Amino acid sequence: MNTLTTNFKQPSLFQAVLEGFIDGILILTDQGEWVHANDCARRICHQLTTGVAQSDRVPQEIWHACKCLIDNLHLHPNESVTIEDEITTSKSASYRVRAQWLNLDTIQRPCVLVTLEDRIQSVQNAAIAEGQKYGLTPREADVWLRYRANYSYKNIGLELHITPNTVKKHMKNIYAKRQQVLESERA
């Protein structure tokens, strides 16, 4: 067991920061062994490896980006390179994968730092923040959240049990509030 793994076993400020990220944080050796994963990364990996017995297995979709980074180290040995990929599952989940080198003084070989962004969660968080920023009513916020998740007016109406015309009315109000905020920011 290397020093880095030992350090992660003990609660620390660094570990608390990693756990606090909305994105999944996965730290791997260049052989694909887990050094650390925050709760979000473990959840995403579990979703991608449903039915696989090993809980610390790197999903193939994630390892692909890591392997690309590892295989191309010789091309850019002194540059900070980030490999990005998108994963979309059959259950309509969407993740952005970013792999880059992580050099730490506590270990001899560099590790691969993988960030896993749950795209749906990111859109929801943005919609919630925008709803507060624009001063939306709770119903307008419900409509805006679904609109930002690429729902059609018809599907928004079906999910919220309102007519498409009511959705249009809410969207008109949302755009007016949004425009008012944008204009006040420019002033």
- The predicted pLDDT at position 10 comes to 54
User: Is residue 18 a contact partner of residue 36, using CB atoms and an 8 Å limit?
Assistant: yes
Owning domain of residue 176: 135-186
Flag whether 171 is in a domain.
yes
Q: Looking at residue 91, which CATH number applies to its domain?
A: 3.30.450.20
* Residues 48-97 pLDDT 10s: 887 665 556 789 999 999 999 988 877 766 778 899 999 988 767 889 99
Give a yes or no: residue 38 inside a domain: yes
Report pTM. 0.68
Q: Are residues 147 and 88 in the same domain?
A: no
If pLDDT is split at 50, 70 and 90, which confidence band does 109 have?
A: confident
Domain membership of residue 95 (yes or no) is yes
Number of folded domains that form the chain? 2
Residue 51 in any domain: the answer is yes
Say whether pLDDT at 8 is over 70: no
Confidence at 157, pLDDT banded by 50, 70, 90: very high
- Cα–Cα distance, 186 to 93 (Å, whole number): 36
Question: Is 105 in contact with 118 (CB distance < 8 Å)?
Answer: no
pLDDT-wise least confident of 55-64, 72-81, 130-139, 162-171: 72-81
- Domain final residue pick, 75, 92, 119: 119
